[in-house]
Amino acid sequence: MQRYPDIEIYASDITFKQIGDWLELHFKHVEKQQTISKKSEARCHWLVDGSEVIVFGNAIGKYSSIWFKQNNSPWDTDLDCARIACKELDTQVRCSNSSWQEGQGPKSQWWRVTAEEGEMLIEWPEN
């Protein structure tokens, strides 16, 4: 399988602190760069092993986007990352079923990863 150029997952009901702690499990150098707390624009930036990670709080409903801008992560794909995040953060995680491509619409199939149900392809966001 091809390694994605970036990684993005969406974790449900998660805090910036939990995400920072999780990043520290997988990277040697984790440095929080900036946090914006304003609810409508909540986001946090980290530098992890020299690469940028941006988290948008509640990007889609209760899901926070965790975006590894350059994929210098231990994971080849979004789904690889989602599996680990689901297990270690103990929350539902969603991710695209393929690497993002120019022109890809917002309505596409996504992986939903849960401890209870495993992995399932869904349509997301739902209406």
Residue 40 phi/psi, 5-degree rounding, is -75, -15
* pTM of the predicted model as reported, rounded to 2 decimal places: 0.90
Tens digits of per-residue pLDDT, 113-123?
999 999 999 98
Domain parsing of the chain, residue ranges: 7-124
Tokens of 77: 């794909």
Tens digits of per-residue pLDDT, 6-15?
999 999 999 9
Instruction: Return d(Cα 115, Cα 98) in angstroms, integer.
Output: 21
- List CB contacts of 53: < 8 A, sequence separation 6 or more: 23, 45, 46, 47, 66, 67, 68, 69
Mean of the pLDDT values across residues 99-117?
77
pLDDT at 127 over 60: no
